A = this chain, B = another copy of it.
């Protein structure tokens, strides 16, 4: 019996997918420690996670792949020979990239696409068929036991009607009537994955990739879903710091956050509508944690020279005893993909675990991984993490 685990990425050629695969290979070869992987923490020693060396990668993209050597060079963790070997393995995987969906993706994403790499049909249902077929091919070619599909593609513009896919019936109606304006590409992948028996993870903030209807569908098909929007940088720090103000009854008057970054993510978010989706996702947590809404701002600007080195400056203006005004400011200088990639591996492991245990629907215990955890109102990092610990304790 096969113990192979399939991981298919939406956005296989992107910086994050590539870094995740580099990391998986490096871990399998013992070239670096699993630092940054939550599931590798001593806390979870007793949980039987899938072995990373049993992961098989594949996926879709709307453009060709070319970044593996560049990323390896920036990362600089391996010597020349290892770099070359890993890059060749990645090349092999990426040469099999399936064409991607561009339906109603918006201008910012469309402008990145290459003609040869796009599924050309205009009917939602035929696109779903196509993605389902890709999954089937990948599964059979690689003798896969369990499968997860993870959306790592660029942030889509917001949905015109976020309630459009609020039930299985509504979803089926959209497909039947080919209401292309009610969906985005992420919907196609999510639908195809779930109906093919794959776990599905919406690592992006794209709203079409996770909805009430899709969660119902996941229950129906006995698969787990997770999302949305991986919490890797500024929002992570916010979710650790904001509870401090609440616990000390200090009044946050203003929390202003400025993010600058230079990768493809930054380029797409520069587009006003795509940026709006992201900012909505990042700006959710303060009212939940504090119990009131301070003046707040989340801005994201594209600064090409930074590349994948995301920098955020947050200024927190707060009031204490005797109306005394004070402030805390932080600068976060993180490497976007290096922060996100281990979480992608973590979530895959939690998805395989859930599949094996027959769990279905939204996996609330993974809330700590997301900026907008599906139907979890808890945004304090520590309280979210307790949910993960509680889940794991029950497993043993």
Contact = CB atoms under 8 A, between A and B. Distances in A.
Interface of A is mostly: mixed
Interface string A36-78: 1110111000000000000000000000000000000111110
B32 A323 contact: yes
Given A36-B250, A313-B315, A327 B333 contact: yes
A2 interface: no
Contacts of A247: 38, 41, 368, 381-382, 385
Interface in A225-262: 236-237, 240-241, 243-244, 246-251, 253-254, 256, 258, 260
A303 B335 contact: no
Interface string A71-109: 001111100100000000000000000000000000000
Given A76-B76, A304-B295, A322-B75, A34 B241 contact: no
A325 interface: yes
A80 to B, nearest CB: 4
Most buried by B among A23, A256, A322, A381: A322
A324 interface: yes
A313 B35 contact: no
Contacts of A339: 320-321, 326
Interface string A315-347: 101011111111111111111001101100000
B249 A256 contact: no
Given A76-B76, A322-B26, A243 B240 contact: yes
Nearest to A312: B328
A35 B258 contact: no
A240 to B, nearest CB: 4
A40 B250 CA distance: 11
Contact of A244 (B305, B313, B317, B381): B381
B38 A249 contact: yes
Contact of A303 (B36, B73, B76, B254): B254
Given A254-B306, A317-B306, A36 B335 contact: no
A81 to B, nearest CB: 9
B297 A320 contact: no
Given A36-B249, A42-B291, A258-B313, 10 more contacts: A36-B321, A40-B249, A76-B76, A77-B324, A247-B368, A254-B303, A295-B304, A321-B339, A329-B330, A382-B383
Ranked nearest first, the 7 interchain pairs of A and B with the lowest CB-CB distance are: A253-B305, A324-B338, A36-B321, A382-B382, A240-B244, A330-B330, A36-B320
